[in-house]
Structure 1
Amino acid sequence: MRVLRVAAAAEAASLVALLVNLLTVHAPAVSSLVGPLHGTAYLVTIAAAWPAPGAAASGARWLAVVPGVGGLLALRRLRSGRQGAWTS
């Protein structure tokens, strides 16, 4: 779960950095540095969410595929599923 948390945060933060760069100065150096970081974080998010316990039943696997915020959505779904299991 720690890998998923870090990858989801990196994916969302890198997307924000790319969009801010696009809307402001559009520096090619920022795009060439942050773009591959965002892509790698996206792939790590999917790879980390896929085998997570309860991911298939909760739909977190498919939420992780959503670019940008999918990892955060998958984490939220996994957390709510685990809390429900603990309280029952």
Structure 2
Amino acid sequence: MRIAAAVELASLVVLLGNLATAHLPAVSSLAGPVHGCAYLFTVIAAIRDPQRTPAAAGLAWLPGIGGLLALRYLDRAPQRADQVRAG
């Protein structure tokens, strides 16, 4: 999921950069499907993660940065569980 989230963000940056500058159809036709596949993979991976929470699954639906936010949230999940048990 970490790789797919990074590819999703990078492809979105390429798409928006292309839109703001030259707007080359070849770049759009390559980066668009790459972004879409990475986005879907990230969302599905976040939903299927054994440590998932509703918040992490919801964050994954945000285009571009959502996958990385969901990963950050999932990485902190064990720390939150320890704090709940101790507190």
TM (norm. structure 1) is 0.87
Rg comparison, structure with higher value: 2
Aligned to 2:33: 36
CA deviation map 1:13-43 (0-9, x unaligned): 0000001111111000000000000000000
Q: Which runs of 5+ in 1 are unaligned?
A: none
SS at match of 1:50: helix
**Separation (CA, whole Å) in 2 of partners of 1:55 and 1:65:** 13
**Does 1:74 find its partner at 2:66?**
no
In the TM superposition, 1:9-48 aligns within 5 A as 9-48=6-45
Instruction: Among all aligned residue pairs of Structure 1 and Structure 2, give the percentage whose two residues are the same amino acid.
Output: 56
Which segments of structure 1 move beyond 6 Å, counting only runs of 4 or more? none
